[in-house]
Amino acid sequence: MQPYSTPFYFVILGLALIPIVIAQLLGKKLMWYQVLLTIAFLWLTFSGTVTIWALIGFGVFQTIIVKFYEWYRVKQNKNQSFVFYLIILLSILPLVIVKVHPLFNPGPGPGSILGFLGISYISFKTVAMIMEIRDGLIKAVPLKEFLYFLYFYPTISSGPIDRFRRFVKELKAPVVTEKYLDLLNKGVFRIFQGFLYKFIIGYLIDQYWLHGIAISATIHPSFLNVSSSMYAYGLYLFFDFAGYSLFAIGVSNLMGYDLPHNFNKPFLAKNIHDFWQRWHMTLSFWFRDFVFMRLVKTFMVKKWSKNMITISNVGYLANMLLMGFWHGLTWYYILYGFYHAMLMIGYDAWKRLKKRKNWKIPDNKWTSAISIFITFNLVFISFLIFSGIPNHIIMPVSYTHLTLPTKA
């Protein structure tokens, strides 16, 4: 059963969460029940398919890798780059195999036997942990805390992507009734907000706008049809994915955890950097911290270039292209990443030009509105690319099989 996909799922989940809510109100975490609930819902989500064994095998594999690197880095106090990169490679290897598999087995057949719902997000967790172990930020990886963090079921399918240190700090903190009451109120509100976003607004956009106009755009790709499908898809993407994220965060709140958020009014962004501070934030911050910043640091330490503009631009390209490849090995996902890298490079160039020419552009509600309008439309062009609609225009498919991605 897909998490947060049907009312029946919420009925089961709501009933299962009652003991945790009561325990939290009484100042208890009831960890044994949380673990039991995690196992039950993982079984509910993955049982009956080969993916349950992929999930278990992946967890065992990642546990061995992380615990070995903890022993090597912390207990043995060693820090060879070769070992670090080898461990990172091994950690992402299952994800790489799953992503590459469709290239060798095209068509609607089954995916890789290593694949399961959420493999990307769990992989991000372990890669971040390995990097922070190397940095000395993580001193110990207790097995029970690691497994609970890895398999935390409210977020396992599509995030938000949490950090081990933040999660464990909250896991070990005593229950404060007043704080939990606040979390409980926020959790209930976020779940109902998620229902509004995903099952009402998202559904209405999909059924009464997106589905029809996307088909029209592929059959008759006029400017009006394509632009309309672009806005329809962009809005559907936000409400569907933001709704899911609100469910995951809201359920976590009911369990006593205040997870990082994924969205913060992204369509009010004034520039492309501001947008990525608001859109799918846990993914954006993950790529910023563990790809972009580390690549820039490597360039500077190795002195591969003394030009900070060049270093920054290469970082943008590598970061966003990798994000595009992560979404899938298709030309439009890769173009989506490249397009966003060009937007970032272009915006930085614009800032340098303003400074060099000493242009005094006023900062008021009118210039803010223009900035938001420009950013909004540039971002929605990227959503059109990401949707695959241009691909369907170039290579038409039966419109009964037209499917669009729901997470970016």
Query: At residue 118, what is the residue type?
Result: G
Percent above pLDDT 90 for the chain: 80
Orientation angle between helical segments 331-357 and 365-387, nearest 10 degrees: 160
Q: At what angle do helices 308-327 and 293-302 cross, to 10 degrees?
A: 140
Query: Confidence band (pLDDT; 50, 70, 90) for 6?
Result: confident
Q: Tell me how far apart the alpha carbons of residues 164 and 160 are, in angstroms, rounded to a whole number.
A: 13
Integer distance in angstroms from the first to the last C-alpha of the chain?
22
Asked if residue 225 has pLDDT above 70, the reply is yes
How far apart are the C-alpha atoms of 27 and 85, rounded to whole Å?
43
Structure tokens at 84: 């670090």
- What is the rounded CA–CA span in Å between residue 164 and residue 153? 15
Instruction: Write the pLDDT tens digit of every residue in 41-59.
Output: 999 888 766 688 899 999 9
Give yes or no: 340 in active site.
no
Half-sphere exposure for 214 (CA within 13 Å, toward CB): 31
Which entry of 211, 280, 327, 392 is annotated as an active-site residue? 327
Domain ranges of the chain: 48-175, 180-401
Model confidence pLDDT, tens digit, residues 377-406: 999 999 999 999 999 888 765 544 566 777
Residues 121-168: pLDDT tens digits? 999 999 999 999 999 999 999 999 999 999 999 999 888 999 999 999
Answer whether the bond into residue 3 is a cis peptide, omega within 30°: no
Mean pLDDT of 1-25: 92
Pairwise CA distance, residues 54 & 197, whole Å: 32
Tell how far CA 251 is from the center of its chain.
Answer: 17
CA 2, CA 215: separation in Å to the nearest integer? 26
**Residues 234-291: tens digit of each pLDDT:** 999 999 999 999 999 999 999 999 999 999 999 999 999 999 999 999 999 999 999 9
Structure tokens belonging to residue 321: 């292209």
CA angle 63, 64, 69 (to 5 degrees): 100
Give the dihedral of Cα atoms 92, 114, 9, 38; nearest 10 deg: -60
- Predicted pLDDT of residue 400: 45
Instruction: Give the per-residue pLDDT at 110.
Output: 58
Is 373 in contact with 353 (CB distance < 8 Å)? no
Total residues found in the chain within this entry: 408
pLDDT of 232 above 70: yes
The model's pTM: 0.93
Taking only the tens place, the pLDDT of each residue in 66-120 is: 999 999 999 999 999 999 999 999 999 999 999 998 887 765 555 678 888 889 9
The mean pLDDT value for 172-190 works out to 95
Under 8 Å between Cβ of 408 and 386: yes
The position carrying tokens 């970016």 is: 408
Tokens of residue 92, six digits: 């992402």
Q: Which pLDDT does position 191 carry in this prediction?
A: 97
pLDDT value at position 127?
97
